[in-house]
Amino acid sequence: MKIERIEVFGVAVPLIGEYKNAYRSKTVQKSALVRITESGGATGLGNIDPSPGYSKESIEDSLRVLETGLAPLVVGMDPANIHRVLQKIEPAVEGYLDAKAAIEMACVDLTARVCGVAVHTYLGGAVKDTLLFNAWIGILPPDEAAAETVAWQRRGFRSAKIKVGGNIEADRDRVKAVREAVGPDFRLRIDANAGYDADTSIRLARMVAPYGLQLFEQPVPEDDIAGMARVRREAAGIPIMADESVLDHASLIRIIEARAADLVKVKVMKQGGFINTRRMIATAEAAGIRCVVGHGFGLGINTMAEIMLAATSHNVIDGLECVGPLKTSDDIVTHKLDLGAGSIALPAGPGLGVALDAAKLDRYRFEARDTHG
């Protein structure tokens, strides 16, 4: 096979309501879509969903780099040879792991489709037949947070993440209300999105320790690995998970060497594609560190990529966080993923098992503003 054509699109899909975390609020998800066509006519899809304040590059810059910097490099290459594709695009521009992941994802989807297998089969085979998902609770008043979590519990969810930030007393009250509402068996996580320093995070951890948390995600700024290690030592036994601090393999090694985390969160988009993410999961496993997979605002293509990747490793814990389809009012695929019961059977493919809806692509498409010209 040879890559004959690469198309890059920007899409803006409305969210269901407004979502707020420690960075900002938003009501729309702006994403990038890559469609690769090979010489025989087969196609593959890649999709990335950057979040302002969290992603390293803006959606506009990612689209520009995809269109002008990366896509032209791989035309004529074999999409099945992912190693060669990565060898070409990784040194071409510094950073932009999201954009590189979109190309790699489309190549993997295309190759698996041509082979007639699901991506999880192409990646070596699934070890899970059912995938469980983690609900998300925003920075809400205690009674609202409790009611929302109970609603997810009644739908079938077995775990939820509660956003924290701004005031640790309010955080404690929110966590307390949720725990009292859902009972002792429902798993709870908290996520500070790097919004607190080490001292504040330690105080918060000790305040919420009685409520039996599964993990405390990214308690400190992403570059404060020593501070995160200190939180881990003094957090009253609550497992600490690194997220914003995890970017490439080198950052993972720094976390391992500092004994800064009990878990790490990885994303196909953020880590630069399937291969890089799988390698990092394997490294974490060798160090005795479990993994969480997923990001919260993905469209159907990227969400399916993370589902299929997660199914291939026992080191990925239940409670995937790729729950974007729960937050978007629509999608650009023909059948929007239904995660509303908190679990799905492993999709069968072929490829990523989703098809692009041309009408919806036209409806939500936007032209990125060139911020460099």
User: pLDDT digit string (tens) for 258-299?
Assistant: 999 999 999 999 999 999 999 999 999 999 999 999 988 999
pLDDT value at residue 21? 54
Are 260 and 235 within 8 A, CB to CB? no
Catalytic site residue from 100, 161, 265, 267: 267
Give the ranges where the chain is alpha helix by DSSP (H): 59-65, 71-74, 82-89, 97-115, 119-122, 142-155, 168-182, 198-208, 225-234, 249-258, 274-286, 300-310, 358-364
Residues shown for the chain? 373
Burial (CB count within 10 angstroms: exposed 0-12, middle 13-18, buried 19+), residue 45: buried
- What contacts 347, CB < 8 A, 6 or more positions away? 118, 304, 307, 308, 353
Helix and strand element counts for the chain (H, E)? 13, 13
Our answer to whether residue 267 is catalytic in this structure is yes
pLDDT value at residue 19? 74
pLDDT value at residue 314? 98
Cis peptide before 350 (omega within 30 of 0): yes
Walk across the sheet containing 43-48 and list its strands: 43-48, 25-38, 3-20, 365-366
What are the tens digits of pLDDT across the range 288-325?
A: 999 999 988 999 999 999 999 999 999 999 999 999 99
pLDDT value at residue 55? 81
Are 33 and 8 within 8 A, CB to CB? yes
Strand, helix or coil at 336?
Answer: coil
Catalytic site residue from 163, 176, 270, 336: 163
pLDDT value at residue 215? 98
Paired tokens of 305: 């990529």
Question: In the chain, pLDDT over 70 holds for what percent of residues?
Answer: 97
Buried b (16+ CB within 10 A) or exposed e, 268-287: bbbbbbbbbbbebbeebeee
Which secondary structure element, helix H or strand E, spans residue 126, and what is its range? none
pLDDT band at 370; cut points 50, 70, 90: very low
pLDDT at 338 > cutoff 50: yes
pLDDT at 372 > cutoff 90: no
Domains and CATH numbers, the chain: 3-117+356-366 (3.30.390.10), 121-345 (3.20.20.120)
Question: In the chain, pLDDT over 90 holds for what percent of residues?
Answer: 92
pLDDT at 144 > cutoff 50: yes
Our answer to whether residue 270 is catalytic in this structure is no
Paired tokens of 360: 């919806």
State how far the alpha carbon of 137 is from the alpha carbons of 51, 64, 150, 162, 329, in Å. Answer: 17, 33, 11, 5, 18
Our CA dihedral for 217, 219, 223, 227, rounded to 10 degrees, sits at: -130
Hunting for tokens 């914003």 — which residue is that?
Answer: 244
pLDDT value at residue 118? 98
Mean pLDDT of the chain: 95
pLDDT value at residue 346? 97
What are the tens digits of pLDDT across the range 6-58?
A: 999 999 999 998 776 555 678 899 999 999 999 999 999 999 999 876 788 99
